[in-house]
Amino acid sequence: MGQGKTDDNIYKKLGEERITVNSENILAPSILAADFGRLGEQVQTVAQAGAEYIHIDVMDGMFVPSISFGMPVIAGIRSFTDKVFDVHMMVEEPGRYAADMKEAGADLLCVHQEACRHLDRTIHQIRDLGMKAGVALNPATPLDTLEYILPEVDMVLLMSVNPGFGGQKFIPYTLEKIRRLRSMIQEKGLSADIEVDGGVGPGNIQEVLEAGANIVVAGSAVFKGDAAENVRRMLELSK
């Protein structure tokens, strides 16, 4: 159903700078944990239950050991919902695929700082294509690497597990990293979203949000069991 929400619902422009305007916490179910035999149906289920983002992990078998979704799968499920397709590129030099991801239906393209030789170029390439641009950091990557690019991005994704596999346990020191990033954003007068990905569920979602995140990725916590009920529970805990 097209490219999801209209630009006005995702961000507004002040001069040349994009300012995100999300006023509520957002749940982004990760379809890496979904039933691949019913992928479109499960995307529709979590969207109807209230999830605003659909988190799609793209893995190339090089940046991370696993291989997952590509453009044909993203294009294939695009018609099942108009929610934001939040595409997480765990791929070496992801700028090579930015235009194809846009065509497949991505609304937000998030690339790893560790995977981009020319991060500034890649971020502007994404934005020039009309998508929101995000940058992701692995757990041990310092926040200092974002100092100059932070004003240029719509979102920062902090990995709270080592990327490549679902079902891992949340790394505790990530909480302090979230707090520090939120402080950096506020000190610079920016409005970038903070997304956290890995090991988040009913037992720690409130702690993650209180640390400063406003977008939470959840895979097993959503798709293990009744996906619709799990979404509703996580959203209730997010208030």
Give 151-184 pLDDT, tens digit per residue.
999 999 999 999 776 667 999 999 999 999 999 9
Could you give the domains of the chain? 23-237 (3.20.20.70)
Q: Of 7, 35, 57, 128, which residue is the catalytic one?
A: 57
Token pair 């397709």: residue: 85
d(CA 25, CA 18): 19
197 is catalytic: yes
Tokens read off for 194:
């903070």
Q: Of 86, 154, 193, 197, which residue is the catalytic one?
A: 197
Nearest to 59 by CA among 95, 28, 87, 99: 87
Q: Is 149 exposed, middle or buried (0-12, 13-18, 19+ CB in 10 A)?
A: middle
Tell me: the pLDDT tens digits for 10-65? 333 333 333 333 458 999 999 999 999 999 999 999 999 999 999 999 999 889 88
Q: Who's near 196: CB < 8 A, 6+ residues apart? A: 157, 158, 160, 174, 178, 208, 213, 215, 216, 217
Tell me: the pLDDT tens digits for 83-110? 999 999 999 999 999 999 999 999 999 9
In this prediction, residue 166 carries a pLDDT of: 66
d(CA 73, CA 104): 8
Average model confidence (pLDDT) across the chain: 90
pTM of the model: 0.88
Other beta carbons within 10 Å of 63: 20
35 is catalytic: no
Share of the chain above pLDDT 90, in %: 83
Nearest to 156 by CA among 70, 93, 86, 97: 86
- How many Å separate Cα 198 from the centre of its chain? 11
d(CA 198, CA 159): 6
Q: Who's near 234: CB < 8 A, 6+ residues apart? A: 27, 201, 202, 205, 216, 218, 221, 222
pLDDT-wise least confident of 15-24, 203-212, 214-223:
15-24
